[in-house]
């Protein structure tokens, strides 16, 4: 279906390609769809943002890439091609070799992602020892070096701190250090600045941007905040209820949003007054009926055709939207 | 500073022990009957009773009696045992080694075995081996100690005479290295009984702690680093799940003492557990209160040890008590 | 719109120190100076915002204003009456809290009916399911009857926040202290909650004191803005002035850190205005608290405590360097 897009890409530039991903969660004997027919690409050196609200499946999609999904999640369909290799079919050993080495991960609420009983520097050194055949001593030196690159003040001292002694911003620098210690080609950052202060958020995003520019690291940024996205992303993928609504260049998403949901998100991100009239805030999972556009219950432009599943509509060079409003344009 | 923490804990333990000493003094004072009559015998003359009172300081005001009692306890003088006509300290020390041998061996086996089985269980949750370990742990800690002890004797000493029914050594003990083996041979059943009870608790606690630790975000981060489940288990989850186990081990010492008394009596083990029962049977108040104080000190020390160990393992405890 | 002669809320020299216990044997007890000498007034109908980052004392301040924690020093007056003298029952109809994290704000073992009937019972006001249903409808939960029997865990984040608002506004208080009322909610839900707050203001003339780090929220609902840093007010003035012509270097940095929402203007990421974290409120820097991160800091800043001084109409700033600059500028 979306293979057209992949073919268009120069394959040497392509780092990651997610194709027709479908993921379900098992709850007792029920199956809940979390991600449905999600496809997108990440080129080398690019920052791609997956944007959506809670229940949109953005985090599930991100965790599926290095296969870190919880045990009750099942990948029903799809291909995750990383440097030409399908990660869904990779063995445990192959995945472990890729995690931390090829794909690094950064999370929301960084302090909880650090082992409370281990010195933070050792947690950075741990990943180096794991993937690079060097001695512990060298790994410690390297870890201190990385902390310094993460702009941790006094890395020599902070190395020996325990997680509870760090502020949120400092903990996030350590977690980013852990993620990039082995210079991965892809960094997945799941809401990396969500609970941080504004000034700290700007610093952390600046750091991520520097990693992208200086090391050419590709970043998959997961966020609910279009503001954060505007400052760092090259491409934006908008998700709602487990499906992609729209994808495009950051400029086209912000300057020329097509999908009604993208527009609603943009207005909401300004907290402006000219909000499109909205219905109740039902949790989106209640509405993910098996057919039809999942946004039609909230959409101000809803029409009869929306009961059918929207198809992918390619708009221009490389943006696409899943909305019947644009069926004539293609 | 860890030292400040230790000093604080030692002070608290000291207060605990002091409270027990005070309570034991009160128990003696509240016990029915005149201790002087007890000492002098039923048919003693009033003059003799008076002499006894003066000799033992029973005529002094109660506060003065308390100070004397406290100072003597603090200097290690727990009085004279009536049945053994030796100092209580001597009697206790004479019986100490068998008890320490039994208690430490059982505790080590219970904790080490429990942690090992917990690890084994948590490595493959909900597998057959996990279920088997779970069920047997549950069964083990639901069985009363005395029943298990008697069962052990009937099964492995009477019906299948592999081990002796009781005691710590054969009536004619062998010499040299064989003496040690003889004691070990006698220890098997009581140690098995005592550790079986606590084994289950540690196994379940370890399993629960490990599974929780494995579901924490830091384990997710460890997976994202490329560590294997085994590495996560040993490098991160185990240490984190040890914290509640250490605390439990410290607070369980009194339960162990309770079980110890039963097990020693079932297996006629010549330790403090049999001694305290004899003390009660012969109304040997100095001996029983002495043992009470002694057990209180042991309990306080073990709790202290557990707290210090916890502070060593957990940096959050250390820094909460001072920079 | 001044209805009475005294302000709705008047705060004078408010201080809150939390003792930080170091250990049993250390003699020197240190204090976390959460709020360190804050004075301001709120008039009926004039929404006020308290802006700042975590650790600036804004949440502590909100809690003191709601009578949840007592101040260490200073006075809080409602309509000219010291808070301690306001009758407890009456107090609830003067101030109501709407706090962050609606999940912990609601008792998990009480259903919506029980939660909403509490304020009525407290005041011996007659109510029935109809009353509660109309309240639910006002906060946009429909059909209302289906919500009465639900428990907090059966509601979404936005629905929980609506219940919190319904409970707070049930007795239509004069002042609602909202601590981060929309943070943690999805963007499209945030706007619904904001609209709800606006609606209530029009209907019941409730005044809001909004505690937030979210400048968008402040801009859209508050007439006056106070900026706090390390327990002190560093700048206060009409929202438009403070946000468009900020004087204090901290206000400037805060505004510069705010995401532009414009992919062509990424200066907020590319040149973060300040580095490092907020210093500890246990050992704050001498003089001006911001001087350790301030791009304008001079020697004087470490020696003298800056005080709020007028820098425009109703606009006050606490910064030596800026004020000196104004004097020089003014003499020309």
Ordered DSSP codes for C113-135: HHHHHHHHHHTT----HHHHHHH
Domain boundaries defined on chain A: 3-102+187-326, 112-183
| Chain C residues touching B311 at Cβ < 8 A | none
Q: Radius of gyration (Cα) for chain C, nearest Å? A: 21
Question: What is each CA distance from B89 to A212, B95, B279, C320, in whole angstroms?
Answer: 74, 10, 14, 75
Strand partners, C75: C12
Q: What is the pLDDT of residue B256?
A: 85
Sheet containing A313-316, strands listed edge to edge, beginning at the edge strand earlier in sequence: A103-106, A186-190, A218-223, A47-51, A235-240, A243-249, A319-321, A313-316
Q: Please, which residues bridge with residue A236 across strands? A: A49, A248
* Cβ atoms of residues B120 and B204 within 8 Å: no
Taking the Cβ of residue B47 and every Cβ of chain C, the question of whether any pair is shorter than 8 Å is answered with no
Q: Which residues of B touch C25 (CB under 8 A)?
A: 4, 7-8
The pLDDT value recorded for residue C21 is 62
Beginning with the edge strand found earlier in the chain, give each strand of the sheet holding C309-312 in spatial order. Answer: C95-98, C175-179, C207-212, C48-51, C224-229, C232-238, C315-317, C309-312
Nearest to B305 by CA among B103, B12, B6: B6
Residues C311 and C330: their CA atoms lie apart, in Å, by 11
Q: Which residues pair with A51 in a beta bridge?
A: A223, A238
Judge: C272–A269 Cβ closer than 8 Å, yes or no.
Answer: no
Q: What is the mean pLDDT of residues C243-269?
A: 92
Are the beta carbons of B8 and C22 separated by less than 8 Å?
A: no
Contact list, A117 vs chain B (CB under 8 Å): 236, 239-240, 313-315
Distance separating alpha carbons of residues C293 and B225, to the nearest angstrom? 34
Helix, strand or coil, per DSSP, at residue A221 = strand
Alpha-carbon separation of residue C315 from B218, C207, C245, C309, C312 (angstroms) = 47, 21, 10, 8, 5
DSSP letters, B206-224, are HHHHHHHHHHSHHHHHHHH
SS3 C51: strand
The reply to whether residue B236 touches residue A107, judged by beta carbons under 8 angstroms, is: no
* Record: contact B224-A105, CB cut-off 8 A: yes
Mean pLDDT over residues C162-172, rounded? 86
Mean pLDDT of the region C83-111:
81
Mean pLDDT of C71-78: 93
| Numbers of helices and strands, H then E, in chain C | 14, 12
Best of A113, A124, A158, A172 to disrupt the B interface (most B CBs within 10 Å) is A113
Number of neighbouring beta carbons within 10 Å of residue A3: 11
C53–A275 CB contact, under 8 Å? no
For A79, other C-beta atoms within 10 Å of its C-beta total 15
Query: Which chain A residues touch B226 with a CB distance below 8 Å?
Result: 96-101, 127, 130-131
Measuring CA to CA, how many Å separate C194 from each of A55, A145, A197, C95, C103? 22, 46, 21, 19, 18
Q: How far from chain centre, in Å, is Cα B258?
A: 8
Cα A248 to Cα A229: distance, rounded to the nearest angstrom = 13
pLDDT band at residue C99 under the 50/70/90 scheme:
confident
Q: Is B8 touching C (CB cutoff 8 A)?
A: yes
Q: What is the DSSP letter of A284?
A: G
Which chain C positions have a beta carbon within 8 Å of A270's beta carbon? 216, 261
Is the CB of residue A319 less than 8 Å from the CB of residue A9?
no
pLDDT of B73 higher than 80: yes
- Residue C1 confidence (pLDDT): 43
Do the beta carbons of residue C60 and residue C16 sit within 8 Å? yes
- Computed over every residue of chain B, the mean pLDDT equals 86
Mean pLDDT of C43-60: 91
In this structure, what token pair is assigned to residue C330? Answer: 């003014």
Looking at the partner chain, which of B217, B223, B239 has a beta carbon nearest the beta carbon of A117?
B239
- Number of DSSP helices (H) and strands (E) in chain A, helices first: 11, 12
Mutate to test the interface with C, among A55, A212, A230, A270 (most CBs of C within 10 A): A230
Q: For residue B231, list chain A residues with Cβ-Cβ distance below 8 A.
A: 130
Q: Which residue has the tokens 């001292």?
A: A157
Predicted pLDDT of residue B54: 81
The CA–CA distances, whole Å, from A303 to A263, A282, A299, B241 equal: 17, 20, 9, 56
- Cβ contact B284:B83 at 8 Å: yes
Q: What is the DSSP letter of B234?
A: I
In the predicted model, is pLDDT for residue B292 greater than 80? yes
Closest Cα of chain B to C25: distance in Å?
8
Give CA–CA dist B107/C214, Å, rounded: 57
Residues of chain A with Cβ-Cβ distance to B227 below 8 Å are 96, 100, 126, 130
pLDDT at A6: 45
Calpha distance B60→A7 (Å, rounded): 104
Sheet (strand C30-42) strand order: C30-42, C9-20, C73-78, C81-82
Return the ∠ at Cα B233 (arms to A105 and A123), rounded to 5°. 45
Enclosing H/E stretch for C50: strand C48-51
Whether residues A109 and B217 touch (CB distance < 8 A) is answered with: yes
CB–CB contact A99 B218 (8 Å): no
Tokens (6 digits) for B240: 């984190």
Cα torsion for C100, C102, C106, C110, to the nearest 10°?
Answer: 180
Task: Dig out the tokens for B173 from the structure.
Answer: 């003990």
In a mutational test of the A interface, the residue from C187, C266, C294 whose CB has the highest number of chain A CBs within 10 Å is C187
Instruction: For chain C, give the number of residues.
Output: 332
Note whether C25 contacts B4, CB cutoff 8 Å.
yes
**pLDDT value, residue B213:** 92
In DSSP terms, which residues pair with A26 in a beta bridge?
Answer: A31
Inter-residue contact B90 to B204 (CB < 8 Å): no
Record: contact C25-B321, CB cut-off 8 A: no
236-275 of B, contacting A, C-beta below 8 A: 236, 239-240
Does residue B323 sit in helix, strand or coil?
coil
Q: Is C142 on the interface with A (CB under 8 A)?
A: yes
- A275 and C195 within 8 Å at the Cβ level: the answer is yes
The predicted pLDDT at position A28 comes to 83
Across the interface, whether the CB atoms of A105 and B222 are under 8 A apart is answered no
Q: Does B221 touch chain A (CB under 8 A)?
A: yes
> pLDDT category, B1, cuts 50, 70, 90?
low
Residue A3: per-residue pLDDT: 45
Using CA coordinates, name the residue in chain C closest to A235. Answer: C263
The DSSP bridge pattern shows strands C224-229 and C232-238 to be antiparallel
If you ran DSSP here, which 8-state letter would residue B42 be given? T
Using the predicted structure, report yes or no on whether residue C111 has a pLDDT greater than 80: yes
Condensed to tens digits (0 to 9), the pLDDT of residues B75-95 reads 888 888 878 888 888 999 999
What residues of chain B lie within 8 A of the CB of C22, using their CB? 321-323
Give the mutation candidate from C20, C21, C22, C23 for the B interface (greatest B CB count, under 10 A).
C23
How many other C-beta atoms can be found within 10 angstroms of the C-beta atom of residue A110? 27
C21 near B CB under 8 A: no
In chain B, alpha helices (H)? 2-30, 35-40, 46-56, 62-74, 88-123, 128-142, 145-153, 177-215, 217-224, 229-232, 238-251, 253-266, 272-281, 285-313, 315-320
CA distance B196 to B193: 5
pLDDT, average across residues B213-239:
93
Model confidence at C331: pLDDT above 50: no
C23 contacts chain B (CB < 8 A): yes
Nearest CA in chain C to B317: C23
Q: Give the pLDDT band (50/70/90) at residue C125.
A: confident
pLDDT at A10: 52
pLDDT at B83: 82
Specify the pLDDT at position A315: 83
Tell whether B224 lies on the interface with A, counting CB pairs under 8 A.
Answer: yes
A112 near B CB under 8 A: yes
Residue A226, CA distances (Å) to A202, A229, A262 in order: 14, 5, 10
Query: Neighbouring chains of B at 3+ CB pairs within 8 Å?
Result: A, C
Q: Which string of b and e fits B155-192 if b means at least 16 CB within 10 Å? A: ebbeeeeebbbbebeeeeeeeeeeeeebbeebbebbbb
User: ipTM of the predicted structure?
Assistant: 0.87
Task: Give A-chain residues touching C195 at CB under 8 angstroms.
Answer: 275
Q: Does residue B4 belong to the interface with chain C, where contact is any CB pair within 8 Å?
A: yes
Residue C28 — pLDDT band, cuts 50, 70, 90? low
Mean pLDDT of each 10-residue bin along chain A, 330 residues long: 47 88 90 92 96 91 94 93 94 94 93 94 95 93 94 91 91 95 95 89 94 94 93 95 94 93 88 54 48 85 87 85 82
Cβ of C263 and A250 within 8 Å?
A: yes
User: CA separation (Å) from C104 to C101, C208, C247, C305?
Assistant: 6, 21, 37, 38
Chain A residues near residue B239 by CB distance under 8 angstroms? 115, 117-118
Neighbours of chain C (3+ CB pairs under 8 A): A, B
Q: Answer yes or no: is pLDDT of B34 > 90.
A: no
User: Which of B42-56, B194-208, C108-122, C147-161 comes out lowest in average pLDDT?
Assistant: B42-56
Residue A272: what pLDDT? 64
Question: Of residues C211 and B283, which shows the higher confidence score?
Answer: C211
- Whether the predicted pLDDT of B64 surpasses 90: no
Q: Domain A3-102+187-326 adopts which CATH fold?
A: Rossmann fold (3.40.50)
CB contact under 8 A, A100 and B226: yes
Provide the pLDDT for residue C332.
Answer: 42
Mean pLDDT of all residues in C4-30: 77
Q: Is the pLDDT of residue C319 over 90?
A: yes
Cross-chain Cβ contact A98/B226 below 8 Å? yes
Q: For residues C279 and C286, what is the distance between their CA atoms, to the nearest angstrom?
A: 11
**pLDDT higher than threshold 70 for residue C2:** no
Three-state SS at A66: coil
Task: Say yes or no for a CB contact (<8 Å) between B8 and C26.
Answer: no
According to DSSP H, which parts of chain A are helical?
3-8, 58-64, 92-98, 120-131, 136-149, 155-158, 168-180, 198-215, 226-230, 250-255, 260-270
Out of A98, A117, A131, the one facing B315 most closely (by C-beta) is A117
Task: Please provide the size of chain B in residues.
Answer: 323
Chain A touching partners, 3 or more CB pairs below 8 A: B, C
CB–CB contact C262 A272 (8 Å): no
Half-sphere exposure of B282 (CA within 13 A, CB side): 14
pLDDT at site C51: 94
Q: What percent of chain C has pLDDT over 90?
A: 41
CA atoms B173, B174, B175, B177: torsion sign: negative
């Amino acid at each position: 279906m979306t293979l057209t897009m992949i073919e268009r890409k120069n394959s040497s530039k392509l780092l990651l390609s997610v194709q027709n991903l479908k993921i379900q969660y098992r709850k007792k004997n029920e199956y809940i769809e979390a991600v449905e027919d999600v496809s997108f690409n990440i080129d080398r050196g690019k920052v791609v943002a997956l944007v959506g609200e809670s229940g949109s499946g953005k985090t599930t999609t991100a965790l599926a890439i290095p296969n870190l999904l919880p045990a009750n999640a099942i990948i029903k369909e799809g291909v995750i091609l990383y440097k030409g290799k399908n990660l869904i079919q990779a063995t445990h050993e192959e995945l472990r070799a890729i995690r931390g080495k090829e794909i690094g991960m950064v999370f929301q609420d960084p302090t909880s992602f650090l082992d409370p009983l281990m010195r933070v520097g050792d947690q950075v050194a741990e990943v180096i020892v794991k993937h690079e055949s060097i001695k512990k001593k060298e790994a410690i030196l390297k870890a201190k070096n990385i902390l310094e690159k993460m702009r941790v003040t006094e890395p020599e001292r902070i190395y020996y701190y325990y997680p509870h002694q760090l502020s949120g911003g400092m903990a996030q620098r350590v977690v980013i250090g852990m993620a990039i210690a082995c210079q991965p080609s892809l960094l997945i950052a799941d809401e990396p600045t969500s609970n941080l202060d504004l000034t700290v958020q700007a610093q952390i995003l600046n750091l991520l941007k520097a990693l992208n520019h200086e090391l050419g690291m590709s970043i998959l940024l997961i966020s609910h905040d279009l503001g954060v996205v505007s400052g760092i992303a090259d491409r934006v993928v908008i998700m709602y209820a487990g499906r992609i609504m729209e994808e495009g260049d950051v400029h086209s998403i912000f300057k020329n949003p097509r999908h009604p949901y993208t527009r609603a998100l943009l207005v909401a991100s300004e907290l402006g007054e000219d909000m499109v009239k909205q219905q109740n805030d039902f949790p989106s999972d209640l509405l993910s009926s098996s057919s039809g556009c999942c946004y039609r219950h909230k959409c101000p432009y809803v029409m009869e055709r929306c009961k059918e599943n929207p198809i992918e509509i390619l708009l221009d060079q490389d943006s696409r939207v899943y909305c019947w409003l644009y069926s004539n344009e293609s | 500073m860890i030292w400040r923490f230790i000093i604080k804990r030692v002070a608290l333990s000291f207060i605990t022990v002091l409270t027990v000493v005070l309570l034991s003094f009160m128990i003696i004072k509240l016990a029915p009957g005149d201790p002087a009559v007890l000492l002098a015998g039923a048919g003693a003359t009033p003059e003799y009773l008076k002499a006894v009172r003066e000799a033992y300081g029973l005529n002094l005001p109660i506060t003065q009696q308390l100070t004397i009692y406290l100072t003597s306890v603090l200097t290690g003088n727990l009085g004279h045992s009536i049945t053994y006509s030796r100092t209580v300290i001597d009697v206790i020390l004479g019986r100490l080694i068998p008890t320490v041998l039994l208690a430490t061996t059982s505790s080590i086996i219970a904790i080490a075995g429990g942690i090992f089985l917990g690890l084994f269980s948590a490595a493959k949750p909900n597998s057959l081996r996990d279920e088997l370990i779970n069920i047997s742990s549950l069964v083990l800690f639901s069985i009363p100690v005395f029943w298990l002890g008697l069962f052990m004797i009937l099964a492995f000493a009477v019906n299948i005479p592999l081990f002796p029914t009781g005691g710590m050594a054969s009536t004619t003990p062998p010499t040299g290295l064989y003496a040690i083996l003889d004691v070990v041979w006698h220890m098997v059943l009581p140690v098995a009984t005592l550790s079986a009870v606590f084994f289950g608790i540690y196994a379940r606690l370890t399993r629960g702690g490990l599974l929780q630790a494995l579901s924490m975000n830091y384990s997710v981060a460890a997976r994202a680093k490329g560590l294997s489940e085994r590495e996560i288990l040993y490098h991160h989850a185990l240490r984190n799940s040890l914290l509640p186990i250490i605390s439990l081990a410290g607070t369980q010492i009194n339960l162990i003492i309770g079980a110890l008394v039963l097990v020693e009596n079932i297996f006629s083990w010549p330790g403090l557990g049999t001694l305290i029962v004899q003390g009660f049977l012969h109304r040997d108040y100095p001996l029983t209160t002495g043992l009470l104080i002694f057990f209180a000190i042991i309990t306080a020390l073990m709790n202290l040890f557990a707290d210090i160990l916890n502070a060593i393992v957990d940096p959050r405890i250390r820094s909460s008590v001072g920079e | 719109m001044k209805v009475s002669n005294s302000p709705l809320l008047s705060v004078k020299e408010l201080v809150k120190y939390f003792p930080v216990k170091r250990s049993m044997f250390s003699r020197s007890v240190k204090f976390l100076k959460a709020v360190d000498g804050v004075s301001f007034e709120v008039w009926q109908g004039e929404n006020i915002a308290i802006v700042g980052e975590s650790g600036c004392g804004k949440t502590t301040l909100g809690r003191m204003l709601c009578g949840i924690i007592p101040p260490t020093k200073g006075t809080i007056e409602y309509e000219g009456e010291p808070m301690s003298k306001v009758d407890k029952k009456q107090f609830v109809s003067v101030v109501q809290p709407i706090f962050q994290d609606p999940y912990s704000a609601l008792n998990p073992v009480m259903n919506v009916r029980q939660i909403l009937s509490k304020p009525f019972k407290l005041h011996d006001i007659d109510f029935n399911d109809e009353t509660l249903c109309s309240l639910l409808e006002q906060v946009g939960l429909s059909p209302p009857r289906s919500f009465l029997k639900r428990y907090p865990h059966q509601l979404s984040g936005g629905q929980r926040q609506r219940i919190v608002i319904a409970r707070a506004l049930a007795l239509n208080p004069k002042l609602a202290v909202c601590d981060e009322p929309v943070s943690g909610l999805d963007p499209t839900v945030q706007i619904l909650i904001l609209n709800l707050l606006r609606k209530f203001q029009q209907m019941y003339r409730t005044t809001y004191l909004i505690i937030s780090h979210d400048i968008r929220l402040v801009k859209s609902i508050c007439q006056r803005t106070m900026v706090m840093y390390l327990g002190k007010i560093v700048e206060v003035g009409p929202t438009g002035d403070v946000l468009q012509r900020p004087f204090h270097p901290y206000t400037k940095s805060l505004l510069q850190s705010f995401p532009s929402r414009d992919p062509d203007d990424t200066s907020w990421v590319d040149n973060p205005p300040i580095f490092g974290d907020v210093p500890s409120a246990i050992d704050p820097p001498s003089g001006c608290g911001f001087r350790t991160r301030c791009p304008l800091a001079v020697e004087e800043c470490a020696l003298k405590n800056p005080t709020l001084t007028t820098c425009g109409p109703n606009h006050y700033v606490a910064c030596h360097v800026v004020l000196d600059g104004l004097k020089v500028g003014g003499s020309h």
